[in-house]
Amino acid sequence: MRLSYTKALNRALTDALAADPAVCVFGEDVGAGMAGPTLNLLERFGPGRIVDTPLSEQGFTSMAIGAALTGRRPVVEFQIPSLLFLVFEQLVNQAHKFSLMTGGQAAVPLTCLVPGSGSRDGWAGQHSDHPYGLFAHAGVKTVVPATPTDAYGLLRSAIADPDPVVVFAPAAALPVRETVTWELAPIPLGRARIHRAGSDVTVVAVGHLVHDALAVAEELAPELSVEVFDPRTLYPFDWAALAASLERTGRLVVIDDSNRSCGIGAEVLATAAEEMRLVAPPRRITRPDGAVLPFAPALDRAVQPHREQLRSALRAFGPLRPPYGEGRAR
């Protein structure tokens, strides 16, 4: 079976709603399934659980937090990633801290789903952010799946988690399809995935950039053995898995579609430099500092991390494998 990323999110919501009557969905146009993940849910589960909300993110996010405190497991869909800026206080200062400030007497099992984070053609500056670094910085559980099966498994785990979780579904990953020959299952938060084993360089790629990293790794295979490392969960980060990868390779490149200063890429490089084995200075590829994506498609693409930047970063380590005909077997 071929499973699309958006259909994987839809199946995760369907299965979670069917398995647990406490699960419900809030958001704008969720009844019509405008963004894709909530398609046909209203017909199956009714308006008591699939709740179309007014155009007020602060209002329905606060309502969802209250529902979580009283025993429900709400999923809030945000159609545009920058809408998270409007509810940052509620999510970080209230939902995230409530359990800590009550000594565990109250829990807020709230999931925020952003189906289409990052750049979309022509969506411009106020619709193209990728603010996952803000939530990881604040200590909120933060997930960025790259593949349909990971989207399904991580969303199921997020909904079942006792704490708030923000799930970013990158717009560039939504068209991805995957052949599925096994039963879909939850994937634990905080566990990374190695998509391609290698021995020369570790590439940490976030979200949709995993697919770019895999393509470049295949292209450069005659020159470099590249390990493609997908953190999947940015907080908590699987530092043990990254340390094990760097024990094998000793070299690190991070490609991250968010702004450079104080980003996930910077945190990965800093932690690796402090605690892990490196035989060469690490490198990062990000959006520029303070980047705001322009409306013009060519300028939009120029601001985003791309494959040529990754090729250059990898080749900057120098030739690490002899070419064919110079002592290297075909």
Residues annotated as catalytic (active site), given as ranges: 127
- Spatial distance between the Cα atoms of 130 and 230, rounded to a whole number of angstroms: 17
Contact between 274 and 304 under an 8 Å Cβ cutoff? The reply is no
**What does the block give as tokens for 221?**
């295979």
Find the DSSP H helices in the chain.
5-19, 41-45, 57-69, 83-86, 88, 96-101, 132-138, 148-160, 209-219, 239-249, 264-275, 297-303, 307-315
- For residue 89, give the DSSP letter: I
Cis amide bond preceding 131, omega within 30: no
Strands 165-170 and 177-179: unpaired
Dihedral (Cα; 150, 263, 210, 162), 10-degree rounding:
-10
Find the DSSP H helices in 81-191.
83-86, 88, 96-101, 132-138, 148-160
Return phi, psi of residue 219, to 5°.
Answer: -65, -40
The sign of the CA dihedral 233, 238, 242, 244 is: negative
**In the block, which residue shows the tokens 């908590």?**
236
